[in-house]
């Protein structure tokens, strides 16, 4: 917001303003707060405190706002754009390592993470586990959504995986964005939350959001006939308000994802069932790999911990070691 006030020379001198004639008009720029609701490289769309949506640019090259960020902004004189001047301290960050080995922030200030898997492209449960690992380390709730239920034939293997996620304590919903099955259940999970929806390309994230908001606002991706993998079409992250309250951030689809984990010891914190069983391990520094008296390995042997989930844990430990050595 821009204020204009008349001010005399003496007052200007006290303020340290030089070279302004008597009776000049001094314009004072006020700083406002806003939330980043869409990202387009160095351009953003913001929601101001009064609910108005505006376009914005970023001041300088050091600031790197992401969807969900709370920012300080000011209007640009004689332009419709606003200028982002600062990013407030974040409650949390969803991150991943980029190709240069640096940490890339994907979204901020979220309180729920939804991982979407589907009948097509074939579900990559290791990607699901890595996203859930990130949610655990962020200390936020998470859900596994299995989409395209109408395309699934034999569901035995899928049901086994979904049952294991439910046993671990995650919210699980089986749905079809095509015929609307399970959409109301997802809406209940997201109500009042700021969530992010993640998953492989082509699993139907944007179609799910279309169902949730009752609109075709989101572009949808298709499956490559040759590779049966999803094509990337959601280029930018966008926060979308839900009719029942709350909001979701639609993130670009991925073919791979790795959480940023500080140490191999922290990897265990990304798996709920491992964390619970680890309290009974003989050694407090047990890595749950080859140590004697490991309650986690005992849980795998007696069936209380999913063998496939345990395999994901070991792969995350190995991935963390690779990242620390710059080999990922």
CATH number for position 308: 1.10.40.50
What are 40-92's pLDDT values in tens digits? Answer: 877 899 999 999 999 999 999 899 999 999 999 999 988 889 999 999 999 99
- pTM value surpassing 0.85: no
Please give the pLDDT value at position 119: 87
Contact residues for 98 (Cβ-Cβ < 8 A; gap 6+):
104
Low-confidence residues of the chain: pLDDT under 50? 1-7, 9-15, 23, 25-28, 218-235
Does residue 103 lie in a domain region?
Answer: yes
CATH number for position 47: 2.40.50.140
Please give the pLDDT value at position 5: 45
Please give the pLDDT value at position 28: 47
Q: Domain limits at 153?
A: 93-250
Do 121 and 225 reside in the same domain of the chain?
Answer: yes
Does residue 257 lie in a domain region?
Answer: no
Helical H segments across the chain, by residue range: 9-15, 125-138, 156-168, 183-190, 205-213, 264-267, 272-278, 295-302, 307-324
Do 157 and 280 reside in the same domain of the chain?
Answer: no
Within 10 A of 86 (CB to CB), how many other CB atoms are there? 13
Q: Is 319 left (phi over 0), alpha (psi -120 to 50) or beta?
A: alpha
Do 150 and 222 reside in the same domain of the chain?
Answer: yes
Please give the pLDDT value at position 253: 73
Does residue 256 lie in a domain region?
Answer: no
Please give the pLDDT value at position 165: 97
Burial of 157 (0-12, 13-18, 19+ CB in 10 A): exposed
How many domains is the chain built from? Answer: 4
Do 195 and 102 reside in the same domain of the chain?
Answer: yes
């Amino acid at each position: 917001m821009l204020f204009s006030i008349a001010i005399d020379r003496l007052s200007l001198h006290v303020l340290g303003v030089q070279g302004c004639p008597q009776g000049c008009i001094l314009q004072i720029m006020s700083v406002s707060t806003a939330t980043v609701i869409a990202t387009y490289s160095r351009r953003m769309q913001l929601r101001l405190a009064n609910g108005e949506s505006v376009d914005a640019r970023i001041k300088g090259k050091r600031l790197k706002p992401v969807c969900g960020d709370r920012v300080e902004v000011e209007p640009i004189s004689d332009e419709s754009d606003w200028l982002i001047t600062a990013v407030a301290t974040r409650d949390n960050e969803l991150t991943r390592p980029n190709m240069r080995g640096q940490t890339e922030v994907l979204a901020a200030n979220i309180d729920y993470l939804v991982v979407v898997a589907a009948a097509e492209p074939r579900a990559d449960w290791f990607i699901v586990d890595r996203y859930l690992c990130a949610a655990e380390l962020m200390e936020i709730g998470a859900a596994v959504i299995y989409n395209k239920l109408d395309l699934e034939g034999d569901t035995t293997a899928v049901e086994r995986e979904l049952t294991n996620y439910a046993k671990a304590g995650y919210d699980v919903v089986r749905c079809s964005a095509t015929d609307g099955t399970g959409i109301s259940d997802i809406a209940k999970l997201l109500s009042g939350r700021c969530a992010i929806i993640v998953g492989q390309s082509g699993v139907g994230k944007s179609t799910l959001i279309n169902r949730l908001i009752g609109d075709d606002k989101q572009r949808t991706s298709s499956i490559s006939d040759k590779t049966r993998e999803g094509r990337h079409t959601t280029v930018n992250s966008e926060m979308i308000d839900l009719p029942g309250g709350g909001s979701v951030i639609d993130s670009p689809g991925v073919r791979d994802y790795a959480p940023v984990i500080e140490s191999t010891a922290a990897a265990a914190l990304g798996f709920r069932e491992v964390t619970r069983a680890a309290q009974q391990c003989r050694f407090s520094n047990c890595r749950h790999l080859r140590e004697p008296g490991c309650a986690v390995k005992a849980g795998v042997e007696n069936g209380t911990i999913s063998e496939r989930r345990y395999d994901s844990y070991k792969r995350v430990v190995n991935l963390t070691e690779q990242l620390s050595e710059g080999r990922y």
